[in-house]
Amino acid sequence: MRQYDTKYQTVIIGGGIAGMTAALQLYKFGIKSLIIEKEDKLGGHLIKWYKLFPGFVNADEVVSNVVSELIDKRMQVITGAEVTSIDSIYDNYIIRTSSGHSFEAESVLLAHGFKTFDPTKKEEYGYGLYSNVKTSVEIENILKEHSNITIPKRVGLIHCVGSRDEKAGNLHCSKLCCVSAVKQSIELKERFPDAEIICFYIDLRMFDNGFEELYMEAQIEHGIKFIRGRLSECSQNIDGSLVLKVQDTLTGLPMNVNVDWLILMVGKEAAKLPKFDKSIDVKLAPNKFVAPENIFYNPNQTSQPGIFCGGTVSGPKTIHESAADAKAAAMSIIDYLNRK
Amino acid sequence: MSKEKRDIWRKYQKSIGDDNFFFVRSCIRQNFFPASEQAFLHILRNELGKNVVEDARHTTCSGIGYHSDVVNFDTLQTIIARHFALMTEAKLKNVAISCVTSFGLYSEVLETWKEFPSELEKTRENLYKATKREFEIPENIAHCSDIIYKFREEIKNKEKNRLVNAETGEPLKIVDHIGCHYAKIFPEYGEGGAEFPQVLTGMIESWGGQTVDYPERRHCCGFGFRQYLVQANRGYSVSNTYKKLQSMEPYKPDMIIANCPGCTMFIDKWQYTISELEHRTFGPDKTGIPVLTYEELAGLVLGYDPWDLGLQMHQVSVEPLLDKMGIQYDKDKKFADKSGKIFSIPKQPEYIL
């Protein structure tokens, strides 16, 4: 069994892009850290992704570059272990894991990301009932694996599944689904050139560099159709194809659309926090993501001194936003340790 | 059908009373399907040995008025509270509701009282001022279809007819239609929820049939109060039923059963209207798809005479279904009263048999 030290300046919970980036940044400033990742591999959600928007860079390439750097620098990582509890001891923290390890840390970085919305909660969308209803995560895997599958003639993508949906308990926008849908539409069109691809959206939030251009490219070069509409129900036809009952919210008219595949752009929800002892007070925002102490002046410090947040643990972010946020979190930690 | 799809209803299982029911009738069912409520009472009292109490002082729940904006919510609450007072006087705690509209409103009122206790206090005061009556909140409210669902296996044990094609032995393909107000307002009040309701499916499967899961299964029949009550909107009502019939047609269903008064009537009667408007029928050889209430279905399973169950009152002829099930019936008694006297025989429509 690999031996670990028992005391670190920072323990990072989560080995996704945020956790790894923060660890590398801390390393540059001579801070000794440990990453604890619950999965067997580093990379977080990114390892399930095929290509990244807007430039269609391979997700594997980004992960392997960062992981290689961690290996080069012989950084301390523990995988396949979940943090079960965090207790305060004077002004340090004791972190215990499901693998039976226990570490003391002067500071903790929460970088355990998000979880995707469980679409079976929207049972009217048919996920888990019809095999041709898939999530945006599963479609990445299909695109990545290049497996032999029946070629669809028409594919529908539903935006905002479990996001901006009070009934689903999530009022927040998951931010990445619009551009992910545009990216996946283009990839599907390239993979199945004869298929008709239709996106059903509430509104398209193309907020970052290159996103609007990608949206235009999808329409002009790839003929992707965008219908402003909401899905009320997905049912199965006698031949196994799906019929979508949608309201076109621009014309105000109901539509029935037959598709072979339905892809649900599942939203991002706050991941489960480790169990804190009673003296630790990490406040959450109304959307249940970790709330920064001060969003303008101290965005990576939680309400608990010595516990920081980086990446999507404080809300949905793109890959580069997560990396930038993680670097900022690392700098906040350095500042904290210097003043301690 | 995938296992997941078969089992999704299990998330929604409600508590249904076992005995000693206070029965509240529907305003319109006794006209549309005159024997259905009687069949329910007969099955519960005489086949299952249950105690079911009626009170002649029971009135409408005022649902049609409420959904037409003629009756306000305060009045509605007070009327339903009066029904609870009659139940309390009868020393009963389980309400058996015949109508889906009423069931939706009883549920809405009880949920309102849970969320807003001041409404309950106001209603108690209003009822006392108006009638000097007091009431207890029922321990259990169930739609009568819930109760038949609960006792479906007991009914199966007494069955005389199975829901199978007597010639081929194949299960009959049956469309279930659940009234919108049964579970779409409060899914947890419906057996199986709103998306994959089990209440009628459970009966169909226990008695040998097979449920048809077609794309428009959950679509409204089109009754919708305003669609029908405002004459100018009736085309909307017909078009909803038309949409459902078109959607189920490829599955070749042998019959439709429903648990709502409006739905049963409209899916049945609009088949005639559609045949006149479009010269279009949905069964084989110019026939329609017979539409039955769940009590009528239970009655057929228990071997009751189809004409005692009032099946002659349906628009779409039920004889092809009875023949398919191998049920014996006397053609000449279809329009005869109990003394054998023939009352007027309706004219045969031109486009639907």
Which pLDDT belongs to residue A2?
Answer: 61
Question: Closest approach of chain B CAs to the CA of A105, in angstroms?
Answer: 44
* Nearest in space to A122 (alpha carbons), one of B264, B303, B8: B8
pTM across the whole model: 0.83
Q: Same structural domain for residues A160 and A78?
A: no
pLDDT tens track for A59-70? 999 999 999 999
B1, B173, B212, B214: best mutation site toward chain A, by most A Cβ within 10 Å?
A: B214
Average model confidence (pLDDT) for chain A?
95
Which pLDDT belongs to residue B6?
Answer: 63
pLDDT, mean of residues A122-150: 89
Best mean pLDDT range from A136-140, A164-168, B232-236: A136-140
Which pLDDT belongs to residue A1?
Answer: 44
Please indicate whether, in this complex, the C-beta atoms of B2 and A236 are within 8 angstroms of each other: no
List the domain boundaries for chain B: 16-144, 154-329
Q: Which of A129, A235, A238 sits opposite B250 (nearest CB)?
A: A238
Q: Which of B2, B193, B250 sits opposite A129 (nearest CB)?
A: B2
Both tokens of residue A285? Answer: 């925002």
* Nearest in space to A78 (alpha carbons), one of A58, A60, A105: A105
Which pLDDT belongs to residue B8?
Answer: 67
**Can you tell me whether residue A154 is helix, strand or coil?**
strand
* Nearest in space to A81 (alpha carbons), one of A180, A163, A14: A14
Residue B1 has pLDDT above 60, yes or no: no
How many A×B Cβ pairs under 8 Å?
29
pLDDT tens track for A97-127? 999 999 999 999 999 999 999 999 998 899 9
Boundaries of domain holding A149: 116-268
Q: Is B122 on the interface with A (CB under 8 A)?
A: no
A1 in a structural domain: no
pLDDT bracket for residue A4 (50, 70, 90): confident
Please indicate whether, in this complex, the C-beta atoms of A235 and B216 are within 8 angstroms of each other: yes
Q: Which of B195, B213, B215 sits opposite A243 (nearest CB)?
A: B215
Q: Same structural domain for residues A84 and A217?
A: no
Residue A147 has pLDDT above 90, yes or no: no
Both tokens of residue B32? Answer: 């549309």
Q: Same structural domain for residues A96 and A214?
A: no
pLDDT, mean of residues A232-243: 94
Q: Same structural domain for residues A25 and A156?
A: no
pLDDT tens track for B21-58? 999 999 999 889 999 999 999 999 999 999 999 999 99
- Listed residues A268, A289, A323: the one ending a domain: A268
- B257 has which bridge partners? B176, B292
pLDDT, mean of residues A200-225: 96
Tell how strand B210-211 and strand B173-177 pair up.
parallel
Give ipTM to 2 decimals: 0.71
Distance CA B309, CA B298 (A): 10
Residue A293 has pLDDT above 60, yes or no: yes
Residue B227 has pLDDT above 80, yes or no: yes
Distance CA A30, CA A24 (A): 10
pLDDT, mean of residues B204-231: 91
pLDDT, mean of residues A182-188: 97
Average model confidence (pLDDT) for chain B?
94
CATH code reported for the domain at B154-329:
3.40.50.11810
Name the CATH topology of B16-144.
Answer: Glutathione S-transferase Yfyf (Class Pi); Chain A, domain 2 (1.20.1050)
Q: Is A298 on the interface with B (CB under 8 A)?
A: no
